[in-house]
């Protein structure tokens, strides 16, 4: 009897425990920030990206990194940031530059003059799988120019960089390292049982306990 009551309490506790979502977190970070450094171009002809993989569903809220604006042009336009779906951890986007349906979310943002470690809002829910966060110009209304700053400290296992150039019209493994890309968001908890499901579970446990008590008295 005591064992049955304990089992029922455990089941109810697990059901209630799924209500609270996990706290916001860093979903992807390719390198730790180091001030200064030279840059890899972000223009209408050159994009920079960082691949990452997820093992759980997350609600992304910001993307960013160590980015530098150019004094003469940073006020004349915007850069874009995008998250694209990939077919594997080592895959590239399939289009020139993106294939149909690969861009899952995008945003544009102004570029500060000089190097800055920044985040810009972007909202999308990502399920377990493989992705890339990409910055550039010339798409989604972006017209500016800038740099992804090099010479940050790569994080082992998280630094998988890709590059697109309109000159070759193809994606390649980046010849440079030390880029800092960041994706932040909230890991999502398991689906919360509906009230009817919880009521049914509770009623079933009460009935089972009553049956065992009646049988014990017989």
CATH code assigned to 25-187 = 2.60.120
pLDDT, tens digit, for every residue of 93-149? Answer: 999 999 999 999 999 998 877 778 999 999 999 999 999 999 999 999 998 889 899
- Encoding tokens for residue 195? 């009230």
- When pLDDT is cut at 50, 70 and 90, the band that residue 195 belongs to is low
| pLDDT score of 6 more than 80 | no
Among 145, 105, 156, which residue's Cα sits nearest to residue 126? 105
Contact present, 186 and 19 (Cβ < 8 Å): no
pLDDT at 14 over 80: no
Q: Give CA–CA dist 7/15, Å, rounded.
A: 13
pLDDT of residue 71: 63
Q: Which residue has the higher pLDDT, 105 or 6?
A: 105
Confidence of residue 208 (pLDDT cuts 50, 70, 90): low
pLDDT higher than 50, residue 88: yes
**Model pTM score:** 0.77
- Three-state SS for the chain is CHHHHHHHHHHHHHHHHCCCCCCCEEEEECEECCCCCCEEEECCCEEEEEEEEECCCEEEEEEEEEEEECCCCHHHCCEEEEEEEECCCCCCCCCCCCCCCCEEEEEEECCCEEEEEEEEEEEEEECCEEEEEEEECCCCCCCCCEEEECCCEECCCCCCEEEEECCCCEEEECCCCCCCEEEEEEECCCCCCCHHHHHHHHHHHHHHHHHHHHHHHC
Alpha-carbon span 160 to 157, nearest angstrom: 8
pLDDT mean over 30-35:
95
What angle is formed at CA 49 by the lines to CA 168 and CA 136, rounded to 5 degrees?
70
Q: Spell out the domain ranges in the chain.
A: 25-187
- Closest by CA to 31, choosing from 148, 128, 122, 171, is 148
Q: State the CB neighbour count (10 A cutoff) for residue 146.
A: 29
Distance between CA atoms of residues 5 and 177, nearest Å: 58
């Amino acid at each position: 009897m005591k064992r049955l009551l304990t089992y029922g309490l455990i089941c109810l506790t697990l059901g209630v425990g799924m209500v609270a979502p996990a706290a916001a977190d860093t979903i992807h970070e390719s390198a730790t920030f180091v001030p200064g450094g030279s840059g890899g171009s972000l223009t209408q002809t050159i994009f920079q990206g960082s691949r990452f993989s997820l093992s759980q569903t997350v609600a992304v809220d910001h993307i960013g990194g160590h980015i530098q604006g150019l004094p003469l042009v940073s006020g004349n336009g915007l850069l874009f940031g995008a998250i694209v779906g990939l077919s594997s951890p080592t895959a590239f986007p399939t289009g020139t530059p993106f294939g149909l349906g690969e861009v899952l979310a995008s945003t544009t943002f102004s570029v500060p003059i000089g190097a800055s470690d920044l985040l810009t809002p972007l909202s999308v829910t990502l399920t377990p799988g493989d992705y890339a966060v990409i910055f550039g110009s010339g798409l989604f209304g972006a017209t500016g120019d800038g740099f992804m700053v090099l010479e940050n400290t790569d994080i082992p296992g998280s630094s998988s960089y890709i590059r697109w150039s309109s000159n070759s019209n193809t994606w390649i493994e980046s010849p440079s390292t030390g880029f800092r890309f960041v994706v932040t968001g909230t890991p999502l908890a398991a689906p919360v049982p509906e009230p009817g499901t919880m009521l049914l579970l509770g009623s079933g446990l009460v009935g089972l306990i009553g049956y065992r008590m009646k049988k014990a008295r017989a």
